[in-house]
Structure 1
Amino acid sequence: MIGRIRHRDIFSRLSKEGTYVRAHGLWCSLLLDSSLENAHIGYAIGRQVGGAVERNRIKRQLRALFSSRSGQLQPGWYLIGVTPKASGSTWDQLGALVDRLIGQIEAKINHSTP
């Protein structure tokens, strides 16, 4: 089960203290938090990605893709961003980008953990 980020202070903490990871077309700022039961995700999709219809399509698809992969994410706060490179991506292409991003997140977490 994926939660949402609902408070401004979490977004602020993510921008100041978060660990940044990127993969072609997607990026993530994350803060692990063992007090949470699951991952909480917010999405940042700017106008440069496309019109409202395109941005909303991508957001819906990302929600579904991350929900189906929720077991791969450690409890914490995740801000997922989309760059214009990801606009126009098919479901399969976006799924591959999400898988690549999750792999980068895992590598970064494992590398920074002593």
Structure 2
Amino acid sequence: MIDSCRSRADFAALRRGRRFDSELLWMTFAADRGLRGPRVAFALSRHRGTAVQRNRVRRRLRAVFREFAIDLAPGRYLVGVRAAASAVTYQRARAELMRLLLAAEALSDRGNKRP
């Protein structure tokens, strides 16, 4: 199960986390073995598109996180978008997020064997 980052402590931990970048996305990861599972937050500014477009991107990113939920390391994840929201297709978001998770060593070996 994936929880949301909501508390001040969650965002304080993210400030101490490591940042990873790709062409389309960026991610900050703060590992925490004390958590039951991953906690995720999204940062999408108004410059990235209309509210409808930003919500669509958020839903796509949530779906990708749910797909990898079992294989994710416990910790806090903050994900943002670099490009216009309309450029974020599910397939591209999945590929880039997987690349970021592997770079952060936040995805177990089982997760990267998926097509």
If each structure's helix is expressed as a fraction of its own residues, which one has the higher value?
Answer: 1
Aligned to 1:76: 75
Q: Is the 8 A contact 1:29 1:80 kept in 2?
A: yes
TM-score, reference length from structure 2: 0.82
Deviation at 1:85, TM superposition (A): 5.5
SS of the equivalent of 1:42 reads strand
In structure 2, runs of 5+ residues without a counterpart are 107-115
Please name the residue that 2:20 is paired with: 21
Give distance in 1, aligned partners of 2:20 and 2:35.
Answer: 21
Q: TM-score, normalised by structure 1?
A: 0.82
Query: Identity rate of aligned residues, in percent?
Result: 37
Please list every run of at least 4 consecutive aligned residues from structure 1 whose deviation after the TM superposition is greater than 6 angstroms. none
Task: Report if aligned partners of 2:43, 2:81 keep a CA contact under 8 Å in 1.
Answer: yes
State the AA in 2 paired with 1:7.
S
- Aligned residues, how many? 106
What residue ranges of structure 1 are gaps of 5+ in the alignment?
A: 108-114
Q: Secondary structure at the match of 1:106?
A: coil
Give the RMSD, CA atoms, in angstroms: 1.7
In structure 2, the partner of 1:11 is 11
Deviates more, 1:78-87 or 1:88-97: 78-87
